[in-house]
């Protein structure tokens, strides 16, 4: 079963994302069964910095519900805010902030006057987590701190506090856009992009000309979040002539601004030499929803990057309109199997049931990729009339990947559902792991936010690949 699941992960490579080591550590922390009271007692008995920091890390990972059951824990931890070891004091502030301990705010504000810049940075970060308005004055002052890292964190904290300073909303952040250090300018641009308004557009546009790549990236992201149409000409220029990082940021911003005037500039970069830039351009064209991009995007099915090939049906499917049916139907007979594959699956993503007869013909295609796409499409569309042909491929197709796809398609086609999203949500509970994995990744790909509750249930799936895909899907959809 494991080998078959891994083949499914390869087919859905873009969406079954393997988690990094830090995510595995988070999973282990969740499974840690030590009583927080016992950890607190161990902390009191420990004498070395290493042991105390490790215990504080474990306490910080304690779930909110557990902390609520032990209201004595925050008061017991607060004295460590005055610990002579600055590392321990700072880590304690971090833990109390994660616990939402408002009683720690006054002491954290005092820590902003520490001689140790690391402590000031940590205190500012903890205050950002608590987002208590009492910290505004101290954080405002910290935007002028002699240490650049403190100034940068102060900018991020001001954004988290979301409070006016001396009746001048965002003025301090705009001042930091002229800071001598690029890291501070970038932090200020990031913060303004999160809490700014129309008054901040001009300042952020000027930052698009900054000499630092990081500042330009953050300014572009911010203008995208603020949907500043006035920034489109400069963003298009950056998209055409910038570095990889700034081009990616510009492409993303143009998609978020939601102005279709940017479509021609984005289409022009679909042949960019860098696959990361091409991928972000595709994403933005998908978000803009202009059908002028349908054929150029379909042509990306022959891209050299397999991740981009995988992404094509989802972009085309989002742009599809019923009047495009004849066009995509003709592409299902294209000379190139990559185009046939993308066109077939695109019609399923678009819930185009008129495609079923032609998808059934695709089950006999000489190229196994087309057969796989046709199977998946028929399953998504719930094409029960194709069950005999799907069963035939399950039993007799010479390609093992096709046979695996047939098993999943057979289960999906038999699910009673009115829409693709409902069918996939039901597929999350299927007893066949490959069906659960396919449903998890496809719900993420079609941005089905209504599936979030069901996806969260898969975070505890018995199969690691499904847990990983669900974790990525939940994170991705929550950020949408």
* pLDDT tens, position by position, 366-423: 999 999 999 999 999 999 999 999 999 999 999 999 999 999 999 999 999 999 999 9
Pick 164-224's CATH classification: 3.30.70.260, 1.10.10.10, 1.25.10.10, 1.10.1280.10: 1.25.10.10
Do the beta carbons of residue 356 and residue 383 sit within 8 Å? yes
Note the pLDDT of residue 67.
86
Q: Which residue has the higher pLDDT, 199 or 222?
A: 222
* pLDDT tens, position by position, 436-465: 999 999 999 999 999 999 999 999 999 999
Mean per-residue pLDDT, 24-42: 63
pTM value? 0.83
281 pLDDT band, cuts 50/70/90, is very high
**CATH number of the 227-305 domain:** 1.25.10.10
pLDDT tops 50 at residue 123: yes
pLDDT tops 50 at residue 305: yes
34 pLDDT band, cuts 50/70/90, is low
Mean per-residue pLDDT, 99-123: 95
pLDDT tops 60 at residue 8: no
pLDDT tops 60 at residue 262: yes
Do the beta carbons of residue 333 and residue 351 sit within 8 Å? no
Note the pLDDT of residue 110.
95
pLDDT tops 60 at residue 114: yes
**134/129 Cα distance (integer angstroms):** 13
pLDDT tops 70 at residue 478: yes
Q: How many residues does the chain have?
A: 480
**102/106 Cα distance (integer angstroms):** 8
What phi, psi does 166 have (nearest 5°)? 55, 35
14 pLDDT band, cuts 50/70/90, is very low
Q: Please name which of 105, 78, 97 lies closest in space to residue 89, comparing C-alpha atoms.
A: 78
Note the pLDDT of residue 332.
97
Note the pLDDT of residue 19.
36
Q: How far is CA 142 from CA 32, 91, 135, 251, 408, in A?
A: 37, 20, 11, 34, 57
pLDDT tops 90 at residue 15: no
* pLDDT tens, position by position, 79-88: 999 999 999 9
pLDDT tops 80 at residue 31: no
Share of the chain above pLDDT 90, in %: 83
DSSP tag of 223: H
Mean per-residue pLDDT, 134-157: 95
166 pLDDT band, cuts 50/70/90, is low
Contacts of 221 (CB under 8 A, 6+ apart): 189, 190, 193, 249, 252, 253
Mean pLDDT of the chain: 91
pLDDT tops 50 at residue 29: no
* pLDDT tens, position by position, 88-103: 999 999 999 999 999 9
Q: Which part of the chain is CATH 1.25.10.10? A: 34-143, 164-224, 227-305
Exposure string for 327-339, b = 16+ CB within 10 A, e = fewer: ebbebbebeebbb
- Its CATH architecture, for the domain 34-143, is Alpha Horseshoe (1.25)
Taking residue 168's Cβ as centre, other Cβ atoms within 10 Å add up to 12
Taking residue 1's Cβ as centre, other Cβ atoms within 10 Å add up to 9
Contacts of 81 (CB under 8 A, 6+ apart): 89, 92, 93, 96, 104, 107, 108, 111
């Amino acid at each position: 079963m494991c080998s078959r699941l891994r083949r499914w992960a390869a087919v859905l490579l873009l969406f079954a994302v393997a988690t990094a080591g830090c995510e595995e550590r988070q999973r282990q922390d969740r499974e840690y069964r030590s009583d927080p009271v016992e950890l607190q007692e161990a902390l009191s008995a420990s004498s070395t910095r290493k042991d105390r920091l490790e215990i504080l890390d474990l306490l910080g990972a304690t779930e909110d519900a557990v902390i609520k059951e032990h209201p004595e824990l925050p008061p017991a931890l607060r004295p460590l805010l005055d610990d002579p070891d600055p590392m321990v004091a700072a880590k304690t502030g971090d833990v109390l902030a994660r616990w939402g301990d408002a009683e720690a705010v006054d002491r954290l504000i005092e820590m902003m006057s520490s001689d140790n810049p690391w402590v000031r940075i940590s205190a500012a970060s903890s205050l950002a987590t608590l987002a208590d308005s009492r910290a505004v004055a101290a954080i405002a002052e910290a935007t002028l701190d002699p240490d650049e890292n403190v100034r940068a964190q102060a900018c991020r904290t001001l954004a988290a506090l979301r409070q006016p300073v001396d009746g001048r909303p965002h003025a301090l952040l705009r001042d930091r856009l002229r800071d001598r250090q690029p890291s501070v300018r970038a932090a200020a641009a990031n913060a303004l992009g999160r809490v700014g308004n129309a008054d901040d557009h001009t300042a952020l546009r000027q930052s698009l000309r900054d000499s630092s790549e990081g500042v330009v990236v953050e300014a572009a992201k911010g203008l995208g979040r603020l949907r500043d149409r006035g920034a489109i000409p400069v963003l298009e220029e950056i998209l055409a002539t910038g570095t990889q990082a700034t081009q990616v940021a510009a492409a993303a911003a143009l998609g978020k601004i939601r102005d279709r005037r940017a479509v021609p500039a984005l289409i022009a970069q679909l042949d960019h030499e860098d696959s990361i830039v091409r991928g972000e351009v595709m994403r933005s064209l998908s978000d803009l929803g202009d059908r002028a991009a349908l054929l150029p995007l379909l042509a990306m099915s022959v891209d050299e990057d397999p991740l981009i090939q995988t992404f094509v049906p989802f972009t085309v499917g989002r742009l599809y309109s019923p009047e495009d049916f004849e066009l995509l139907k003709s592409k299902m007979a294209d000379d190139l199997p990559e185009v046939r594959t993308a066109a077939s699956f695109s019609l399923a993503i678009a819930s185009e049931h008129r495609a079923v007869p032609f998808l059934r013909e695709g089950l006999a295609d000489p190229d196994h990729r087309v057969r796989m796409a046709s199977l998946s499409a028929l399953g998504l569309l719930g094409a029960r009339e194709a069950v005999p042909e799907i069963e035939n491929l399950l039993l007799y197709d010479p390609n093992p990947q096709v046979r695996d796809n047939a098993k999943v398609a057979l289960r999906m086609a038999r699910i009673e559902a009115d829409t693709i999203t409902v069918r996939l949500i039901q597929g999350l509970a299927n007893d066949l792991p490959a069906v659960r994995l396919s449903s998890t990744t496809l719900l993420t790909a079609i941005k089905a936010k209504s599936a979030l509750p069901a996806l969260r249930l898969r975070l505890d799936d018995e199969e690691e690949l499904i847990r990983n895909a669900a974790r990525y899907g939940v994170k991705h959809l929550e950020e949408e």
